[in-house]
Structure formats: C-alpha cells, structure tokens
A and B are shown apart, each in its own frame.
Chain A
Amino acid sequence: MTTTQHMPVSALQPQIECIIRSLGSDDKTVQRLAQMGILPGTHLHIIRIAPLGDTIEVTGDQGQSFALRQQEIAAMTCEPVAMPLDSELVKVGQTYRIRALVGGKTFRQRMERSGIKEKKLLQIKKTGNKPVLVRQVDLNKQVELGRGEAKKIIIERISNEQN
C-alpha cells in the first residue's frame, strides 16, 4: 500500500492531478460524489480556481467537469500524481518525469536547450520561494529555473518509486 496524503488547501492549483483514495467524511458529500461517478481510484484534474477563490473546477478521468469547494477537496484523501514544478507538493531529492510543458513555442525551445522536454527525468535539488534548482538526470546537468518557468513545467511521479 502506498502512503497517501491529504492535499493541503494551500497546494491546490491548476494542473495538479491526483488519485482519490478516500472521498472524505461528510456523508452527503461522499454519497453525491459517488453517485456522480467520482469514486476512490478516480483521477481528478484541477482545471482552474475561480477568480474570487474557494471554488475549484475539476475534471474526472471520464471527462466529467464539475465545480466543488476547497473544503470538499481538502476533506478527500487525494494522492498527487502530477503537478507544476513550482508546487509545494514537490519534494527535494525526489526524481520526477516531465509530463508536459504548457508554455508557448519560445519557452519550449529555451527549455529544450537545457534538455528539459517531455518524458525526461528531473531530480529536485532545491525548492522554496527562490528559483527551483533541478538536475536533468540524463545529461547530469544542473538547471536553475525561475518561478514563472517552473509553473509551466508539469511533472509527474514515477510510478515505481513510492515514498
């Protein structure tokens, strides 16, 4: 069994994907989610957060799109599988695979020059509010990324490496 973790409210941001392990404790909410086909095992994808905050749009893996509030997501146990590189869920020392680069063409080209493109592995050296320091595993090369750049790099956990 994997150790699962609650998704802290502060970590909620677009581009995060997580697998639901438990639906929470409020009976009515849990039952409603279950009846909408949102069940343990479902992949949730955070699409956006409302301009005023609190309300979050997510999609399920069967393409259903719906909105719920922070408290509902916080009550779930949802194991993060993919997140932007600037997320607080990113752990120092761990290695992740790059899933996607969500920026424009020039951004992609710039990143590619440092060997940062889809499917490549990155080991996290340093996180926090300052630039993110990563090691491109194949090239064994350290790269320093600004917050803005890190936000556009979506990384995923490597499945055989459970913490």
Chain B
Amino acid sequence: MNKTEASVTIALAAIPNSGKTTLFNRLTGSGQATGNWPGVSIEQKSGSFVLGEHSINLIDLPGAYALSPVTEEERVVRNYFLQSPPDIILNILDARNLYRGLGLTLQMALSGLPMVVAVNMIDEARRQGISFDLKVLSQHLGVPVIELSARTGEGIPDLKQNLYKVIKYPEKTRNPHISCPPLLEKAFSEITEAINQSGIDTRLDHTFLAMRQLEEDDPEQRANDDKVAVVTRQWYRRLKQSLRTSIPVACASCRFNAARGLAMEVLHDQPAFEDQLTKQLDRIFLHRFFGLPIFFLLMFLFFQGVYGLGGPLQELLSSGFDRAGTWLASQAMTLSWPIWLQSFFFDGLWQGISVVISFFPIIALFFLFMSLIEDSGYMARAAFLMDRLMHWLGLDGKAFITLLLGYGCNVPAVMGTRILTSSYSRILTMLLIPFTLCTARLQIFVFLTALFFSPVIAPLIILSLYVCSFGAVILTGLLLKFFQIGGTPEPFIMEIPPYRLPTLRSISLRTWYELKDFFSRAATLIVAGVLIVWLLIHMPADVPPGSAATWAGQLGHMLTPVFHPLGIGWQETVALIFGFIAKEIVVGGLAVIYSGSDVAGQMISHITPLQSISFMLFCLLYTPCIATIATIWSESRSIKITLLSLVSGLGIAWITSFVFYQSGLLFGFH
C-alpha cells in the first residue's frame, strides 16, 4: 500500500462508555466536521489531524457492542466496515473493565485490517489499584496496545507514535485465534475456502468475512458469489439445528470465552474489581427513599441553572441587540435607504439574527450542565430512577430529563435528545418535546389570563394549561408508541458506568461544539423563517403592517373557515402566524394588529373569555416556534419527522381547541 501522499483514514471504533468522544476530541481538537450517515438520522463525526507527513481523517463511529447489529447505530458501523474498510482501526478498551470491550476488540482484530488498541482511563484504573500486563494483550491480539487517559492527555504522544508506525508499516502480522465449538470452526473454514475460490478483491480477512456471512441475518449483506452463498446457507441450516443458541450468540460465546481468559492473563488473575467510591455513591444516589428526592433536587438545580441564569442573559442579549438595531436605524446611512429596505433589514433580518443569538446563553448553559451530568456518570443513574415512568410511554429513563427541560425552552431540549442511546427514543422524544409548555408560551398565558380573568382564576387557568401539556405529552406518547412511529423499540439493557470527575476541558469543549453546531445548522433556517413571516406581515408594501390588507391578514381571512369553529378571529390567526417566529412576540403581534390606543380594551371587546382559553390552548399545542422546528430538522435530518411534528402539532391543537370551544358553547358559555 502506498499511502504516503493521500490522507489516511482511521476509524475510531469502541463500545459505548469507553471514552470514545473524549479521545476523538483530544486527537482532532478543533478540526471537526459533522454530517450524517447515509439514510439514517445518526450523526457522522469526522475530524482531521496531522501525523508527520500524513494528514489523518479520523472517523468517529457510533458506539457498538459488535458487528452483528442490534441497533441502528450498529448497523451503520457494520455497513461501514464491510463496504468501505478504513486504513486503520483505532479501538478503545476501558482500563477499568477490559472484558466488556474485548469482545468487539477480538472481532475487529480478526478483520485483518491494521489496528491500534488504546486502553483508556488508565488514571481511573490506577486509582482503583488495577495493574496490568499490556504486553500480553498486545501479543495475543497481534496489534500495538497503548495505555492512555484521553481525559488528562497522558499517553497521547505514545498513541500518535504507534499510529504513525502502523501507517508506515501497515502489514498486520497475524490474527488472534479464538477457539469455537468444532462444528462452528468447520463451518468457518469451509466458507473461507469458498471465499478464497471466489477470487473476491478485499482487504478484509477471508475468515473474518466467513464469520460475517454466517452471523448475518440481513440478506442484503450476504455474498454475491453463488458458491459462497450456497455453502453459507447449508451451514446456516445445519448449525441452526445443532447449536442450542442462535449463531450470533454462539459466536459471541467464543469471543467472550477468549476475552475472559485474556482479561485474566492481562490482570494477573486478579478478581474483578469493585469501585468502592461508586458503590458508596450509589448507596446514596440510588437509595430506595432518598434516591428520587435527590434526583428531583438535582433536576431543579439543573433547571434553575439553565433558565434562571440563562433567561436574564437571553433578555440582556436580545435587548442589547434591539438597542443596537434602533441605534443603527437612526444613522444617516440607513435612513437614506428606502422604507421597505429599512423594514426588511431591521424588522426581518435583524430580528432573525437576534432570535438566533438570544438562544446562545441557554444552549451553552444547558450543555454545560448536561455534560456535567453525563460525564460524571449520574445520567445512567437518573435513567435508572425514572425508567419505570418512561417505560410506560415506550421511552427510556433518560428521555425524562430532556422532556423536563422542554418546560424551559424546547430548543435545547430537542438538542439534548442526542444523549438518548436509541434512535427510537430519540425520535419519539423529539416529537413529544413541542408539547411541553415552555416559558415563551407562559408569557402569552400570563398576559391573556390577566386580561380576561380575575386574579383568583387566572393562576388556575395557567395550572390547567400545564396539566393539559402533561396530558398532551402522555397521550401523544402513547399514540406514537401504538403506531410505532419511531420504528421498533430496542431492548433496554443499560450499562451503569462508574462515577468519574468530569474535566473542565471536556465540558467546555462539548459546549463549544454544540453552540457551533446550533449556529451552523439551525441558524439559516431560523433566519429564513423569520424573513418569510416578515414578508407575510409587510406585503404588499403600501398597507400598514399586520393589517387586514397584508398577505398575513388575507391569509387570516382565508383561514376563517378553519379557525372560526375554534372561536379564533382573523386577528388572532395573524398573531398565531407571528407566533411561528417565537411565542414571545404573539403578544406584541396582537398589539400591532389591534393597533390603536387601547389594545387591551379592544381585545376584551373582541374576544370572549371562552375564546381566549381556546386561543391559549391552540398556542400551547401548535408548533412551538421556527427555532424548534429548525432544531428538530437539524437533529433528525429527516423531512418526514419534521413534517410530522408540524402536522401533529397543528392537528392536535385544532382538535383540542375545537372540542373545548364547541363544548363550551354547548354548556352555555360564550
């Protein structure tokens, strides 16, 4: 192989919870790019760095336990290895528990591709008093093994040196041997023989391919060659009859038997280690009585930390932005612009950018706290505590946290669905978050209830709206579960990792990447959305903005047959169109539409209390805002999911308001 000129592709492959992301960040620094794996809503991260004269393209594969896929993520990893094998595999083992990861390591070592194994979290292992003989591991696997700590940076130069050596001399010496039951061994060798004869051109080891053929349940992945296919099918049938387990389980047994022996040898027969600190902490955090109160206290602090701190910052930023806009608008240069351009620039573009920027503080704080919870290991505990409640909705426990944070703001909550391990729960949670009553919607409700109801009744109405939001989340959850919108649920078997102290570096890096990501992925869509709404409200140019003659007003009139049964007039319909930008401006929108001196008085004379509740219900349930939709799109990368969210929000909002208003009328309210 001549790889001196071209860039070298290294794939980072490891089981979940082995510090993959930390090592990826450590190696690539700021040279990262995100995209999507073809055909699925799973993020593809790649980064670049330089090793001597080589430029390296590092691909961060999703976490996988094995190459026989159970999850969507594992399917991505399997396809990647079979269809476009990387130049080098960089595999990670968790020093605290080698056995866990060795199954995958052995499988990868059999692939015949050059590989380097990084034994990560060596600092944690040392703290627990674990000592190893990594030479033994290296000899068995036939690849270099380097101990390191991605968190502290220890061992990274050593890793780079070894990667460099492997690039220079990519020939892999030999494959490890894994003994299997004789019948399986025979099957492997016969299929290997057939593959040898087929004259297939591949860098993958033929025995490895034979194992893949036999373990594969997806017919698309089966060999094209007839002979190979026939031999595989024969053996498949024969093994199915004589093995007491399925073929993938039998193969996993062989690998883990070898892994157990290997781990014992490397660890000098020391018994499995118990992390005393983790044991003690779990006695508190997972306590039968105190576990849940502690969890809710932490969630309260999380919520307050994000929104209590982020809310004022958000206001500060957007008011600063507004003031800068006003100042800019009063400058001679901009005053000389035509009126429509001034309006487009300040009420459209400037406002759009202001919406994007104002999200920065809460997204930053959100991910700061989120990575704290995740990196420390508490997330798995939270999921354990809340699992039962969420299981009922077809979700796992981690979804609870993202849903809860939706009650502050939907945008970071949707971004937070990334912590969920299965794409099934990710999609489900993403579709549920828009029904959580965020603080922006709360502003509308506070304004309207104060206007239409006595101070005694108003809080009760707001409380009922919260109840209604919980109800919408639960009902939609059950519906989505019933129709299996997110695909089939994946088995729930969650690893509970030991606690660790998060580092400032990894937390700030993560926060920085998330901010960058939000800006690059959702920003354009948000600004475009704001501009469209601006057009609707300001066109045609010769009428007052937001009035009946504008496109928005015409649309409001056009939609009268749709909204009349809900008791919502054309003015409020236009306000709802405003609400697409952000719920905060619905109230301001109403003020523009009912332009005049006494806006409140006009509204009270136009709208009945019943109608106002119907309007609030609609506000609660329909599309939260452009930013949320843009985030759902950028997280799911799926038009289908985004449209489903839009349509289900509007549909559920309409039905609820309709039922409420019509039955209100029936009962004699008006």
Q: Name A residues whose Cβ lies closer than 8 Å to a Cβ of B.
A: 23, 26-37, 39-40, 48, 50-55, 57, 61-69, 72
- The distance from the CB of B400 to the nearest CB of chain A, in whole angstroms, is 11
29 pairs from A and B in contact (CB 8 Å cutoff): A23-B249, A28-B70, A31-B249, A31-B252, A32-B65, A32-B70, A34-B253, A34-B256, A37-B252, A39-B249, A39-B253, A48-B288, A50-B384, A50-B387, A51-B289, A51-B291, A51-B385, A52-B385, A55-B384, A55-B388, A62-B99, A62-B263, A63-B273, A64-B97, A64-B100, A65-B496, A67-B383, A69-B387, A69-B492
The reply to whether B259 and A31 form a contact with Cβ atoms under 8 Å apart is no
B-chain residues with CB within 8 Å of residue A50 when the two chains form the complex: 286, 384-385, 387-388
What chain A residues lie within 8 Å of B97 (beta carbons)?
62-64
Interface size on B, as a range, is 35 or more
Scan B455-495; emit 1 where CB is below 8 A from any A CB, else 0: 00000000000000000000000000000000000111111
What's the minimum C-beta distance from A102 to chain B, rounded to whole angstroms? 13
Among A29, A53, A61, A65, point to the contact of B491 (Cβ < 8 A). Answer: A29
| B631 vs chain A, min Cβ distance (A) | 29
| Closest-CB distance, B267 to chain A (whole angstroms) | 10
Quick check: B389 and A52 within 8 Å, CB to CB? yes
List 13 other contacts, CB 8 Å, given A35-B248, A37-B259, A67-B380: A23-B245, A30-B245, A30-B249, A35-B103, A35-B104, A36-B493, A39-B256, A50-B387, A51-B288, A55-B387, A57-B496, A67-B494, A72-B492
Question: If A27-B246, A35-B66, A62-B99 touch, does A54 touch B384 (CB 8 Å cutoff)?
Answer: no
CB distance from A51 to the nearest CB of B (A): 5
Q: Whole-angstrom distance between the alpha carbons of A93 and B249 in the complex? A: 38
State whether A64 touches B495 (Cβ < 8 A): yes
Given contacts A30-B246, A31-B70, A37-B259, contact A72 B273 (CB under 8 A): no
A-B pairs, top 9 by smallest CB distance, nearest first, are A63-B272, A34-B252, A35-B65, A52-B388, A29-B491, A35-B66, A62-B99, A55-B387, A34-B249
Docked complex Cα distance between A33 and B386 (Å): 22
Chain A binding surface SS class: mixed
CA distance A43 to B70 in the complex (A): 23
The verdict on B226 contacting chain A, using a C-beta distance below 8 Å, is no
A37 and B103 form a contact (CB under 8 A): yes
> Is there a chain A Cβ closer than 8 Å to B542's Cβ?
no
Bound-state CA distance A32–B492 (Å) is 9
Q: Once bound together, how far apart are the Cα atoms of A51 and B388, in whole Å? A: 9
Please report the C-alpha to C-alpha distance between residue A48 and residue B282 in the assembled complex, in whole angstroms.
10
B201 — which chain A residues lie within 8 A by C-beta? none
Given contacts A27-B246, A32-B70, A37-B256, contact A62 B103 (CB under 8 A): no
How far is it, in angstroms, between the C-alpha of A32 and the C-alpha of B69 when the chains are bound? 9
Q: Is the CB of B384 within 8 A of A35?
A: no
| B391 interface contact, C-beta 8 A | yes
A36 touches B387 (CB 8 A): no
Given known contacts A31-B70, A51-B292, A61-B272, A36 and B385 CB-to-CB distance under 8 angstroms: no
Taking the closest CB of chain B, its distance from the CB of A152, in whole angstroms, is: 15
Contact A67 B387 (CB under 8 A): yes
For residue B280, give the distance in angstroms from its CB to the closest CB of chain A: 13
Best-surrounded residue of A35, A53, A67 (most CB of chain B within 10 A): A35
B260 within 8 A of A: yes
**Contacting residues, chain B, for A53 (C-beta < 8 A):** 388
Assembled-state Cα–Cα distance A40/B288 (Å): 30
Which of chain A's residues have a CB closer than 8 A to the CB of B5? Answer: none
- Nearest CB in chain A: distance from B197 CB, A: 31
Q: How far is the CB of A45 from chain B (nearest CB, A)?
A: 11
Interchain CB contact under 8 A, B493 and A32: yes
**Shortest distance between the CB of A68 and any CB in chain B (Å):** 5
B392-422 contact mask (Cβ, 8 Å, vs A): 1 or 0: 0000010000000000000000000000000
Whether B70 and A35, one on each chain, are in contact in the complex, defined by CB atoms closer than 8 angstroms, is yes
A63 vs B397: C-alpha distance when bound (angstroms): 23
Query: Which residues from chain B contact A54 at a C-beta distance below 8 Å?
Result: 387-388, 391
Tell me whether B44 is interfacial, beta carbon within 8 Å.
no
Chain B positions within 8 Å of A67 at CB level: 380, 383-384, 387, 492-496
B569 to chain A, nearest CB (A): 46
Query: Are B494 and A66 in contact (CB-based, < 8 A)?
Result: yes
Q: B104, B273, B384, B492: which contacts A57 (Cβ < 8 A)?
A: B384
Residues of chain A within 8 A of B65, CB atoms compared: 32, 35-36
Q: How far is the CA of A72 from the CA of B68 in the complex (A)?
A: 20
B380 contact set on A, CB distance < 8 A = 67
Q: In angstroms, how far is the closest chain A Cβ from the Cβ of B564?
A: 46
* Any A CB within 8 A of the CB of B274: yes
The smallest beta-carbon distance between B135 and chain A, in angstroms, is 21
A51 to B287, CA, bound (A): 8
Contacting pair A37 B493 (CB below 8 A): no
Chain B proximity of A138: nearest CB distance (Å): 29
Q: What 1/0 flags go to B235-254 for Cβ under 8 Å of A? A: 00000000001101100110
Q: Which residues of B contact A30 (CB under 8 A)?
A: 245-246, 249
Q: Which residues of A contact B260 (CB under 8 A)?
A: 62
- CA distance in complex: A34, B381 (Å): 23
Residue contact B491 to A26, C-beta cutoff 8 Å: yes
